[in-house]
């Protein structure tokens, strides 16, 4: 019985089926259009995202890694013309002697970005000494050296200190550490011995270190204070009425402890002066905090209402392609007849380094131009604010508004505004500060949500702290001022302003 579809006996259909199971192989040509970012484009995108401080570090890194890049004014284009004429460009040139695709992988960091070893035994290496403060954990280990402990106990204590986080908390149980230290360090111990070591470390400075949670941290700090009547009462509240204290159920606390408003006020003063994160206060962390200093990316000048935006390029050097490397390419161009394999490999290396330097210089230029164009559009859009300095003058503005003005993509505007700052005569502002959504008031005017948040914040600041306004009452206050906003929207704005609910804003 032959198949009714292909007329071959070898293709027998299954029972009660008329489907042919003959496999047909076909060859087809298909055109496909794909967009792919070049390494140069990827470099520009990454440059847009980083602020000025990181850009300076990125330039220093590139200067170290690429010997074809050096500081100084850029040379004329004649050297680049020689490079293009002799070897073609990376964008479309084909050359019989060189196939640059072999040297241009698709990853973000091409193979030619290699560190070179140009040192010799005659080079003089000088290191610049610098000093850093003792870290938090080093401080704890230093105190451990003053304790009268045997070698076994000291090993346990070092393990416990290693588990204390940067805030000063020991968030692991003694039982868990007893099990782990056997496998990790081969030290046998018991739960009781581990708890004893933890108690020893909890006597270290800063007070509160080694606590498992906030409640224990506060108790440890109160134990180290002079035991006045207020301190003893504070310890009772933290130990037995911690949940009521955090929820500000002050009436229940006063009734249970038989104290008046004035006493409770003094006791609360003792508690709020304690440090909830003892490790973060250690001076050894000052170095890390100083590294996050804000360096403005833009400078704004106001000359009688004429606003001028400048890029902060004070520490960004001029860059150029090394003349030495350009001359090496010219020497090769004039001696192509006597090529050897070593010369060919050398010229590949030189050309790739020059291309890398040119890409980097172009990426810097494109970054600067894009940042300047975008910031000028923002300043023009928010002109009244930059002249007056009052945030009520801020207009509703979203990324699309600036994208439409500049012709850039919305993602580009987002990258430009991310982690960037501008220095004005009224202070330093993050660029994202000027973006906000809009709402319509009772008069039909579009107002910025920032203006509404400011009114909300001022309302809460001037409320009666003994009877703070809940979200429903805040919505009514805003409605009376012409802003018809739902209670859930008020709650959202309040949370964005980091303002707690009414119950937690209550004071005695």
Between CA 382 and CA 387 the distance in angstroms is 9
Coil vs helix vs strand at 206: coil
Which of these three, 253, 272, 291, is where a domain ends?
Answer: 272
Please tell me the pTM assigned to this model: 0.51
Coil vs helix vs strand at 474: helix
Residue 194 lies inside a defined structural domain of this protein: yes
Taking alpha carbons only, the member of 189, 103, 202 closest to residue 147 is 202
For strands 306-311 and 427-430, give the pairing: unpaired
Residue 284 lies inside a defined structural domain of this protein: no
Residue 292 lies inside a defined structural domain of this protein: no
Domain containing residue 476: CATH number:
1.10.10.60
Which of these three, 272, 296, 313, is where a domain ends?
Answer: 272
Residue 61 lies inside a defined structural domain of this protein: no
Q: What is the pLDDT of residue 288?
A: 45
Number of domains in the chain: 2
Between CA 321 and CA 304 the distance in angstroms is 42
Tens-digit pLDDT profile for residues 153-170: 999 999 999 999 988 999
Taking alpha carbons only, the member of 506, 500, 501, 475 closest to residue 488 is 475
Between CA 301 and CA 312 the distance in angstroms is 12
Which two three-digit tokens encode residue 203?
A: 């006597």
Residue 481 lies inside a defined structural domain of this protein: yes
Question: Cα angle vertex 458, ends 453, 463, to 5°?
Answer: 125
Domain that holds residue 458: 438-505
Tens-digit pLDDT profile for residues 125-146: 343 443 445 788 888 999 998 8
The alpha carbons of the chain give a radius of gyration, in whole angstroms, of 35
For the chain (508 residues), the mean pLDDT of every run of 10, in chain order, is: 54 50 60 65 80 86 88 58 43 42 38 40 41 74 89 91 91 90 85 93 92 93 92 93 88 90 89 88 48 78 92 83 82 70 80 87 91 95 90 85 93 89 91 81 69 86 87 88 86 86 80
Between CA 318 and CA 439 the distance in angstroms is 46
Residue 501 lies inside a defined structural domain of this protein: yes
Buried b (16+ CB within 10 A) or exposed e, 35-49: eeeebbeebbeebbe
Q: Are 112 and 353 in contact (CB under 8 A)?
A: yes
Buried b (16+ CB within 10 A) or exposed e, 255-285: eeeebeeeebeebbebbeebbebbbeebeee
Which of these three, 272, 291, 324, is where a domain ends?
Answer: 272
């Amino acid at each position: 019985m032959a198949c009714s579809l292909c007329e071959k006996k070898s293709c027998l259909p299954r029972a009660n089926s008329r489907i042919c199971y003959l496999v047909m192989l076909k060859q087809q040509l298909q055109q496909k259009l794909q967009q792919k970012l070049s390494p140069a484009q990827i470099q520009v995108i990454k440059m847009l995202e980083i602020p000025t401080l990181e850009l300076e570090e990125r330039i220093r890194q590139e200067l170290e890694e690429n010997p074809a890049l050096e500081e100084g004014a850029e040379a004329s284009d004649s050297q680049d013309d020689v490079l293009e004429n002799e070897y073609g460009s990376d964008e479309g040139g084909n050359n019989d002697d060189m196939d640059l695709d072999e040297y241009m992988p698709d990853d973000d960091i091409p193979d030619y970005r290699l560190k070179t070893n140009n040192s010799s035994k005659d080079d003089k290496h000088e290191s610049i000494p610098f000093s850093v403060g003792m870290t938090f954990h080093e401080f704890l280990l230093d105190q451990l050296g003053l304790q009268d402990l045997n070698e076994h106990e000291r090993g346990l204590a070092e393990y416990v200190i290693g588990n204390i986080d940067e805030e000063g908390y020991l968030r692991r149980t003694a039982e868990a550490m007893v099990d782990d230290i056997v496998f990790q360090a081969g030290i046998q111990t018991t739960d009781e011995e581990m708890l004893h070591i933890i108690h020893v470390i909890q006597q270290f400075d800063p007070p509160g270190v080694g606590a498992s949670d906030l409640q224990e941290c506060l108790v440890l700090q109160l134990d180290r204070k002079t035991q006045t009547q207020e301190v003893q009462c504070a310890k009772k509240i933290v130990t037995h009425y911690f949940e009521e204290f955090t929820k500000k159920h002050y009436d229940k606390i006063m009734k249970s402890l038989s104290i008046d408003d004035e006493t409770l006020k003094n006791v609360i003063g003792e508690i709020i002066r304690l440090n909830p994160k003892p490790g973060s206060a250690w001076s050894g962390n000052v170095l890390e905090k100083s590294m996050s200093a804000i360096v403005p990316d833009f400078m704004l000048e106001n000359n009688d209402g004429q606003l001028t935006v400048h890029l902060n390029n004070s520490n960004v050097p001029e860059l150029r392609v090394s003349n030495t490397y350009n001359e090496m390419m010219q020497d090769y161009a004039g001696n192509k007849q006597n090529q050897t394999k070593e010369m060919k490999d050398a010229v590949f290396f030189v050309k790739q380094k020059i291309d890398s330097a040119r890409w980097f210089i172009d990426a810097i230029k494109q970054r600067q131009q894009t940042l300047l164009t975008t910031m000028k559009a923002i300043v023009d859009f928010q002109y009244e604010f930059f002249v007056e300095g009052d945030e009520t003058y801020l207009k509703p503005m979203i990324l699309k508004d600036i994208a439409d003005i500049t012709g850039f993509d919305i993602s580009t505007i987002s990258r430009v505004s991310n982690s960037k700052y501008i220095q004005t005569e009224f202070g330093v502002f993050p660029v994202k500060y000027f973006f906000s959504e809009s709402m319509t008031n009772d008069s039909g005017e579009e107002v910025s949500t920032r203006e509404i948040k400011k009114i909300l914040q001022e309302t809460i600041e001037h409320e009666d702290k003994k009877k703070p306004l809940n979200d429903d009452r805040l919505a009514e206050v805003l409605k009376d001022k012409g802003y018809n906003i739902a209670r859930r929207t008020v709650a959202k704005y309040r949370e964005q302003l980091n303002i707690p609910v009414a119950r937690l804003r209550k004071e005695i």
